[in-house]
Chains A and B, each alone.
Chain A
Amino acid sequence: MIKSQSSSRSKGGKRPSRGLSSRGTKKLPLPKDLLLQIHRLMVKSRALEDRLIKIYKAGESYFWIGGPGEEAFGVPLGLLVHKGQGPQYDWLHLHYRATPTLVAMGMPMIDSVRLMMNRATDVSTGGRNFSNHYCYPQWNVAPVSSPIEVQYSMALGTARVQQRHGTKGVSIVTGGDAGTAEGDFASCLVWASRPGQELPLLITVQNNGWGISTDYDSQHGEKHIADRGKAFGIKSLVMNGNDPVESYLKLKESLDYIRKTGKPVLLEALVSRLYGHSSASGANMEKGQVCCVQSFEEKLKKWGLLKDKEALAIRTEYETEAKMAQEQARQEPAPTPESVWDHVYAHNENGDWRNY
């Protein structure tokens, strides 16, 4: 249930054109190529999630949870991340709706499908964890965990390392609105804003208005979650996370501020939750919410940047890629039973007491 969504429609203008047109109409809010890239990635992420849901419904996986409805936030984030390994790059402490961010960072679809189908080839968990529980050390992506909000306290540590190394790297944490009730969210605000020891943290909340079946309004006395940052002197803002342009601009502004000052930002993005919490509630499209992919597509068409035929071709291309990924993953091996003892400890040191 999305409450007031501050619209940034005016930024696009009613008669957009490709840059400053000779006719003097308004400038596009972002370069054309970037707008089209964001669109493609949003469609790609959605097509992938749609496929994951199909895999679940076909009985080829046990559970689905994911991020349809968070593309307009996640894709711009993925594009803005300084991607790499080590403290000079950004760290990502993501929640389980972050497919759009990873797609934008360049994750191949097949990775997500292998994770969904618990293949031995799943690079994130080796068939051990649920969908959307990604892990990419080469991009500083910490393992996504099912307990909500724990990532907000772990992000403190990577931010501390970045600060110590004096890098421009930022630790970015994402999570839902319901999880902000947990103590880890408060820990994050307290530790990020210690006077003279502020941490380079982008603390984000994707407020979809729900915690499983419990609505936001019955649990939150605060008007905005972002208001909580103000008490700590943390730069805080609320944005329409269903608008990729607003997301891109506000995320960029926030990241630039953090890289420049070393201080944290709390950013609350109002987003949709299009298919419910997870497959536990059916994973069906829930009506009455903004679909950011659809609304952005309409905007691009209105601006003359996209035609129906092109939009259809993009969607078909990614639907096909996702389907092919499923077919490929089907052929790949499952984890072996004896692999349960792998990686209990680093370097595969024995973890079975029977062998002590």
Chain B
Amino acid sequence: MLAAQVYFEELAKYFITVCMALYTYECFAVFRFREEKRRNGIYVRQNILMFLIHVTCYFYIFLETGEVGQLFFAAFQQIILYAAIVLFGMLYPRGNRLILNNMCLLLGIGFVILTRISYDKAIRQFIIATGSLIIFLLLPYLIRKLRFLKSLTWVYALAGIAALTAVLILGQDVNGSKLSFTVAGVTFQPSEAVKILFVFFVASALYHSASFFQVFTTAVVAAVHVMILVVSRDLGSALIFFVVYVLMVYLATGNGLYVLAGAAGGSGAAVLAYQVFRHVQVRILAWQDPWSVIDSSGYQITQSLFAISNGGLFGLGLYKGNPLSIPFVEADFIFSAVAEELGIFFAVCLILICLSCFTMFMNIASGLKEKFYRLIAFGLGITYIFQIFLTIGGGTKFIPLTGVTLPLISYGGSSVLTTMIMFSVIEGLYIIRQDEEARKQLRKKRYLKRIKKISVPEPDISPEPATD
């Protein structure tokens, strides 16, 4: 190893952290401005910081492994990600670029850490992400056009239940859980995609009427979803469906009692599950005192805690830690791998960036006039943040481990595709809202002009050009 490499690697650690911190700052600086136009400078700065983080990480990787191929891989990633950013800007000038930037940054970080863990998996993830990006670019257009989406209530429900049942019957058993099945060499995990169908189902069922009867019928359907997932032992997804349902009902009805009822019912179900299922008891024990079962059921979680603690503030540096000692690190424990090699500071920034995405989702939800769309943006936002809470909280002993992925960063095609569809749907909704607002502004201006014409007989202002 060259002396220069030692200097570079040490400096790179701090440089990456500083870039990440600045990027995170910009994520929240966005909220100071209401109009997307005035946020332009922030977005450009973010794009530069993303580039710097990504390039520095891959140069670091190249120095450690000496594989030139990885530099080309990084270049391909840059091309695809920036192509997506530019194309999206051209296709949807009224799109939200914070969501777009965050998505690309998180994908980039995912590629970096996956390359470090397994080059093959990183490449596979990259191919899937590239395909998903095409869908991401097309979907906002479709969302606007397909006005009948709100009438497909029972189609969503049946499709969702059918997909989950299919996994339960056909799925392969991995560590006692049935999560996925394989067709022609490609593994699908349908519970990921069903999350979106489920949000659409609840939104379409409750947008026109949130009567008790309506809530009750959707509750039955929601319960069927959750039950199938519990039987498949996919407890993390079951919990996500449950929380999303309860909170969407809260928004649709405006009645806080539903949240209380949900919390009571959920606690009851959790206690029951603890009594009935052996694997739930094992998980709870491994959460309460993983150190007492460090060589068995507590192994994963303790290795994860070691990783985070080993990293310290600025991380050990890529390839300097020991992330592969955590079983399933690339899916359920990717956060710990990030914390170990890139530092807890970086990892905290990562959480904050996810939070800024979530805040923007909720912001968009509150700006939408149509209740169906509001419910969808809200439901998808909850799905996103609650999944992050489950995976990071589970991997850090904050809550019991449930085994879900960290969206956009963890390895897993279904997860990446689903998350990008979610982001894309929200972009579509944001554009609908921007269009609404632009129309409203236009009406307002015309109205004011008419008044002025009547009261002040002055030469009028030139005709209104449509805002971009």
- Chains A and B form a bound pair: no
